[in-house]
Amino acid sequence: MDIKELFKGVAVVIDDKINDKESGDLILNIIEKLEKENIPLLKYNDIPDENIISDFNNVSFILLDWELFEKPEGMYFDEKPFIDNVINFIKILQQVTFVPIFIFSHLESDTIITKLSEEDLYNDRSSNYIFVKKKSDLISDEDENKVFTEIENWLKQTPSIYVLKEWENQLNQAKNKLFWDFYNINHKWPSVLQKTFTDDGSDVNYELGNFIFKNIMARTEPIKFDEKILSISDDELSKDELRKVLEAERFIRNESLPDIPHTGDIFRYSVNGEKNDRYYLNIRPECDIARKRNPELYCLKGKIINEDDINPEEQKDNEIRFVNGAFIEKVNKIYLPFVIFGKIIEFTLNDIKIQKWNSIKADRIGRILPPYITAIQQKYSFYLQRQGLPAIPEKAIVNN
């Protein structure tokens, strides 16, 4: 892992001593180390205005001092407003970008971590995107690269940031390839595609964005992640935590979706006027939906299963078998695990409901992602083409 390569790009440094060359503050040594590695820095001696913070969405990292003030000697000084300002800055950043924050201060790390934890910005039982370290622990006569060594050690314990930085680098390379490829073909390529999508009756904004995304992914080189950083033991993850991660991998909640219909949309509906865990899943192909303002959706009906029916100790008529990491599904049923707060939904293939988008869009709760929705579409297609066979007499199989 090349830590300097991972964190290449413009970084932001906020420290009240950043321009005070006579202060002897260790931030000056840290900045010298960063600039020696050709990391371009945006420097501030105080928290910047909120309209500037909104432009931090593409920075590589934020290096932040905790105490952006000078304590007067022998006098009472209320530091709370200054600390609150730092905390507010971090909370604003959360709304702008997901970026590693390095808090390097003269204070002991535990003091800062305690305050961050009180504000729900730090969980000392887990890895965190905020790295807190005392400045004096980052400078060493024996190790000129102590700053990078400490960041690397922290990164090895923070897989979410590690994956982000590896992915960002590959994504940026693919993005550049895409736009240079098409620019060299025709400078007006977006206009050409706009006309094509318009003539086809499609939503230009959606189709052009989707086109760019697919082409970037096609140009992305396989990422070689460090397995040692990503590995986790079974006892580090509870059943509920595992379900939450698996849900995020296959299901997007409605608040993160655009207001347009799509294959995989899932809706909650009422039976006898009550919201009682009944769902519609749209399996109509995307190409049929995109061209219409108020398309018809082909919806499978589903309900949350009783998990006591999975592999019961005593045989039951409605039992559900789970073997070798997969559900054994009957020909007319599909099980979709870990969506909607980790629940498992059973969809039936023999009862499809046609619904207009405008009539049920207010009930959409999220979307099932590929390859899960693709597998459901494939099984439904197979179900429609199935060939019934006569039953085998029990006497031919079972011993009397």
Are both 25 and 132 inside the same structural domain? yes
pLDDT at 172: 93
**8 A C-beta contact, residue 333 and residue 346:** yes
Domain interval for residue 298: 237-384
Buried b (16+ CB within 10 A) or exposed e, 221-253: eeeeeeeebeeeeeeeeeeeeebeeebeebbbe
Are both 47 and 130 inside the same structural domain? yes
Are both 179 and 63 inside the same structural domain? no
Tokens representing 12?
């932001």
Average pLDDT rounded to a whole number, residues 227-237: 79
**8 A C-beta contact, residue 288 and residue 399:** no
Among the residue ranges 173-187, 281-295, 342-356, the one predicted with the least confidence is 281-295
Are both 248 and 326 inside the same structural domain? yes
Q: In CATH, what number is assigned to the domain containing residue 82?
A: 3.40.50.2300
Provide the pLDDT confidence category of residue 234 given band limits of 50, 70 and 90: low
Give the pairing of strands 364-368 and 321-323: unpaired
Provide the pLDDT confidence category of residue 154 given band limits of 50, 70 and 90: very high
Are both 28 and 127 inside the same structural domain? yes
In a domain, 129, yes or no: yes
For residue range 102-128, what is the model confidence (pLDDT) as tens digits? Answer: 999 999 999 999 999 999 999 887 889
Highest average pLDDT, of 132-146, 283-297, 351-365, comes from 351-365
Question: pTM of the full predicted structure?
Answer: 0.81
Domain termination site, one of 157, 172, 191: 157
**8 A C-beta contact, residue 279 and residue 262:** no
Residue 71 reports pLDDT greater than 80: no
Q: For the chain, what percent of residues have pLDDT higher than 90? A: 66
In a domain, 362, yes or no: yes
Cα separation, 231 vs 248, in Å, equals: 19
Give the pairing of strands 296-304 and 343-356: antiparallel
DSSP line for 143-175: -TTHHHHHHHHHHHT-HHHHHHHHHHHHHHHHH
Domain total in the chain: 3
Torsion of CA 324, 329, 333, 338, to 10 degrees: -10
Domain termination site, one of 106, 122, 157: 157
In a domain, 206, yes or no: yes
Are both 143 and 13 inside the same structural domain? yes
For residue range 183-201, what is the model confidence (pLDDT) as tens digits? Answer: 999 999 999 999 998 888 7
Tokens representing 140?
């060493």
Residue 86 reports pLDDT greater than 90: yes
Residue 254 reports pLDDT greater than 80: yes
For residue range 3-24, what is the model confidence (pLDDT) as tens digits? Answer: 888 998 999 999 999 988 888 8
For residue range 322-355, what is the model confidence (pLDDT) as tens digits? Answer: 999 999 898 899 999 998 888 999 999 998 999 9
**8 A C-beta contact, residue 302 and residue 280:** yes
DSSP line for 68-104: -S-PPTTS----HHHHHHHHHHHHHHHHH----EEEE
Give the pairing of strands 11-14 and 62-64: parallel
Provide the pLDDT confidence category of residue 319 given band limits of 50, 70 and 90: confident
Average pLDDT of the chain to the nearest whole number = 90
